[in-house]
Amino acid sequence: MGNLFRTVKQIIEPQYVIEGAGVLLRRSFGPARSNLFDPFLLFDHFAFNDPREGPIMGFPTHPHRGIETVTYMLEGNVRHRDSLGNIGVIGPGDVQWMTSGRGILHEEMPRRGPSGAIMGFQLWVNLPAAQKMSQPRYQEVSAESIPSVAFPGGRLRVVAGEFNGVRGPVTEIAAQPLYMDVALEASAEFSLPVPLGHTLIAYVFEGESLFGMDDRGQGEFVPAVHMVEFNDGDLLQVQTGASGGVRFMLMAGAPFREPIYPYGPFVMNTQQEIQQALMDLRNGTFVQAN
Ligand code: MN
CA of 66 to the centre of ligand 1 (A): 12
* DSSP conformation letters of the chain: ----B--EEEEE--EEEEETTTEEEEEEE---TT-TTTTEEEEEEEEE--GGG-S---EEEEEEBSEEEEEEEEESEEEEEETTS-EEEE-TT-EEEEE-TT-EEEEEEEE--TTS-EEEEEEEEE--GGGTTSPPEEEEE-GGGS-EEEETTEEEEEEESEETTEEPSB---TT--EEEEEEE-TT-EEEEE--TT-EEEEEEEEEEEEE---TTS--EEEESSEEEEE-S-SEEEEE--TT--EEEEEEEE-------EEETTEEESSHHHHHHHHHHHHHT-SS---
Q: How far is residue 113's CA from residue 117's CA, in Å, rounded to a whole number? A: 6
CA of 240 to the centre of ligand 1 (A): 35
- For β-strands 199-211 and 235-239, DSSP reports them as antiparallel
- Can you give the pTM of this predicted structure? 0.96
Q: How far is residue 266's CA from residue 158's CA, in Å, rounded to a whole number? A: 28
Q: Report the pLDDT value the prediction gives residue 289, as an integer from 0 to 100.
A: 64
CA of 122 to the centre of ligand 1 (A): 9
27 contacts 14 by C-beta, under 8 angstroms: yes
CA of 106 to the centre of ligand 1 (A): 6
Confidence category of residue 288, pLDDT binned at 50, 70, 90: confident
Q: With b meaning 16 or more CB within 10 Å and e meaning fewer, what string describes 209-246?
A: bbbbbbeeeebbebeebbbbbbeebbebbbbbeeeebb
Calculate mean pLDDT across residues 147-175.
Answer: 97
Using one digit for the tens of pLDDT, what is the confidence trace for 200-245?
Answer: 999 999 999 999 999 999 999 999 999 999 999 999 999 999 999 9
The total of other beta-carbon atoms located within 10 Å of residue 17's CB is: 12
Q: Which of 276, 282, 283 is nearest to 66 (CA)?
A: 276
Q: How far is residue 156's CA from residue 182's CA, in Å, rounded to a whole number? A: 4
Domain 8-283: give its CATH architecture.
Sandwich (2.60)
CA of 75 to the centre of ligand 1 (A): 19
Using one digit for the tens of pLDDT, what is the confidence trace for 237-271?
Answer: 999 999 999 999 999 999 999 999 999 999 999 99
What are the structural domain ranges in the chain? 8-283
Q: Report the pLDDT value the prediction gives residue 51, as an integer from 0 to 100.
A: 64
CA of 243 to the centre of ligand 1 (A): 39
CA of 61 to the centre of ligand 1 (A): 8
Is the pLDDT reported for residue 1 higher than 70? no
Is the pLDDT reported for residue 290 higher than 60? no
CA of 198 to the centre of ligand 1 (A): 26
User: Can you say how many angstroms the Cα of residue 279 is from the centroid of all Cα atoms in its chain?
Assistant: 29
Is the pLDDT reported for residue 44 higher than 80? yes
CA of 37 to the centre of ligand 1 (A): 20
CA of 60 to the centre of ligand 1 (A): 9
CA of 175 to the centre of ligand 1 (A): 19
